[in-house]
Amino acid sequence: MGRQCLSHGPLFMNQPIIGYHQDEHGDWVADLACGHGQHVRHQPPMTNRPWVLTEAGRDQHLGEVLNCKKCEGE
């Protein structure tokens, strides 16, 4: 069982993606159920996420679980 995100109630660090937005640089950020955001960049060879480049690709990953780094640090 994961640690709790204390600032957002009894949620765990693994959070589903509920939406997306672009930051001030045009990079995609996944909106997580806990209220935090996490970048989901496509920057090969370091990060290979071509799905983030299209709306259809992003939609297919809604509900996918990411480890919330902000919840992890709380």
Query: What pLDDT was estimated at residue 47?
Result: 87
Q: pLDDT value at position 4?
A: 46
Cα 34–chain centre separation: 10
Q: How far apart are CA 19 and CA 16, in angstroms?
A: 9
Token couple for 56: 């259809």
Q: Quick one: average pLDDT of 21-50?
A: 93
Using CA atoms, how far apart are residues 25 and 42, in angstroms rounded to an integer?
14
48-63 pLDDT per residue, tens: 999 999 999 999 999 9
49 vs 69, which has greater pLDDT? 49
First to last CA, the chain: 16
Q: Render pLDDT for 9-24 as a digit per residue (tens, 0 to 9).
A: 444 689 999 999 999 9
